[in-house]
Amino acid sequence: MSTFAELLDSLTDHGEGRSTVTITDDWLQGRTAYGGLTAALCFEATRSIVDDLPVRAAQISFIGPVSAGVSLTATLLRRGRTAAFVGVDATVDGDLAARGVFTFGVTRDSALNFAALPMPEVGMPEDHERRVHAEIDGDGSGAPTFVNNFEFRPTLVDNSVDGGAESGVWLRLRDDDAPASAASLLALADGPPPAALGLLGERVPLSSMTWMAEFLTDGIDDGSAWYFTRAIAESARSGYSSQEMTLWDAAGAPIMIGRQTIAIFG
């Protein structure tokens, strides 16, 4: 068993952008780490390459199972005066399991300063009931084990949004030592189930295939704080769903936006 902070701290730097980490079973979704953890570990691997610029965007492809011993290789793709791009490959037993590209950029003065992303009126976390952390059933069904690393307070479910689906939840990492960094945001944003799952009426296997995230802040103050995330499934057909998501802090400021391609096996 590992807390989120302990898992990040266990990442071993071997120099020249290479690092390794062992993922414990309590962070798995079936036979793989859930996408948010994979993305967070890939981001941590970039810190040996670029640690002086805020991260602006992440693009992750989830290619194969990420479990147990993971090797990470970070490569500086380009560094200019104001921006840097870092590629990260995650491999397991020599097989490519995930590939990410992270974009970093300086903070600049600008005449533009807006974010037209108002948070829904959903109250505060204490206004909603805590979701009981589910156990894995004897036949392997039920909630994935990684959800027990979060506290969830669902607030919004609408399965009739122009024929699609919408879900919203307050959530936090159950780890007071979670870092105030993009790693925590990546782990949080992918914590809730996809919005399209609510249309099925039952739990079925699913897997993130791609994830694009854009960071709307230079940093966060508390990695263990409450955040609200809303996901909207805009399309679902042929066994795949496309959804957009937004993450706000407890003050209602938008922190992250993203898009995800999800394979749904049911």
Tokens coding 184: 């925590």
Task: State the residue for tokens 């230079």.
Answer: 218
Give the type of residue at 65. Answer: P
193-243 pLDDT tens trace: 888 887 776 778 888 999 999 999 998 999 999 999 999 999 989 999 999
Tokens coding 89: 């490959």
Q: Return the CATH architecture of domain 4-106+123-264.
A: Beta Barrel (2.40)
For residue 70, what are the contacts with CB-CB under 8 A and spacing of at least 6? 20, 21, 22, 23, 33, 41, 90, 91, 92, 97
Residue 160 is predicted with a pLDDT of 55
Candidates 199, 212, 214, 206; CA nearest to 262 is: 206
Q: Could you state, in chain order, the average pLDDT of each consecutive group of 10 residues for the chain (266 residues)?
A: 94 96 92 94 96 96 94 98 97 97 95 91 91 48 80 77 78 96 95 84 83 95 95 92 96 96 88
Return the number of other C-beta atoms located less than 10 Å from residue 163's C-beta. 11
Residue 215 is predicted with a pLDDT of 97
Give the type of residue at 211. Answer: W
In the chain, where are the structural domains located? 4-106+123-264
Candidates 173, 164, 157, 163; CA nearest to 230 is: 157
Positive or negative CA dihedral for 174, 138, 197, 62?
positive
Helices 35-46 and 182-189 sit at what angle, rounded to 10 degrees?
Answer: 170
pTM, entire model:
0.92
Considering just the CA atoms, what is the radius of gyration of the chain in Å?
Answer: 18
Candidates 160, 172, 179; CA nearest to 248 is: 172
Residue 251 is predicted with a pLDDT of 95
